[in-house]
């Protein structure tokens, strides 16, 4: 499946503790998202489509809500980094920095 002509990549810079904690999460596969995150070094912004952002937000929400307490590996610094990344992505989506393409 290829993105349509109205779909754009949105550039997001993830560095430091946020990147380390994101790489440690077990994410569902979303068109190669997990592999791209693992290869990402944090030097340049990573290009994410809208569905990638939604997948990241869902994964971060599940991890922060601790729906699976027996799988939780959270430490206080991990929680702060993941919360920071989640809030930045959520703010971008709610401010429509990353709008849906027309017709979807």
Query: How many domains does the chain fold into?
Result: 1
Query: What is the extent of the structural domain holding 87?
Result: 10-94
Report d(CA 70, CA 22) in Å as an integer: 19
Q: Residue 79, Cα to own-chain centre: how many angstroms?
A: 15
- The mean pLDDT value for 5-26 works out to 87
User: How far is 59 from 37, CA to CA, in rounded Å?
Assistant: 13
Q: What pLDDT does residue 74 have? A: 53
pTM over 0.75: yes
In a domain, 53, yes or no: yes
Q: Using CA atoms, how far apart are residues 96 and 77, in angstroms rounded to an integer?
A: 29
**3 is a domain residue:** no
Residue 89 lies inside a defined structural domain of this protein = yes
Alpha-carbon distance of 33 to 60, in angstroms, equals: 14
Q: What is the mean pLDDT of the chain?
A: 80
pLDDT for residue 32: 84
50-98 per-position pLDDT tens digit: 888 888 998 888 888 865 555 555 554 578 888 999 999 988 877 766 5
* CA 72 to chain centroid: 18
Q: Would you tell me how many other CB atoms lie within 10 Å of the CB of residue 98? A: 20
Predicted local confidence at residue 45, as pLDDT? 93
Answer whether residue 62 is part of any domain.
Answer: yes
In a domain, 5, yes or no: no
Q: Report yes or no on 102 lying in a domain.
A: no
Q: Does 99 fall in a domain?
A: no
């Amino acid at each position: 499946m290829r993105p349509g002509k109205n779909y754009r990549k949105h550039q997001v810079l993830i560095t430091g503790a946020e990147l380390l904690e994101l790489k440690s999460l077990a994410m569902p596969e979303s068109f190669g998202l997990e592999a791209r995150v693992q290869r990402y070094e944090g030097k340049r912004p990573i290009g994410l489509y809208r569905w990638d952002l939604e997948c990241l937000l869902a994964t971060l929400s599940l991890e922060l809500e601790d729906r699976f307490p027996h799988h939780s590996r959270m430490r206080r610094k991990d929680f702060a980094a993941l919360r920071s990344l989640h809030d930045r992505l959520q703010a971008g989506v709610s401010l429509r920095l990353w709008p849906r393409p027309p017709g979807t």
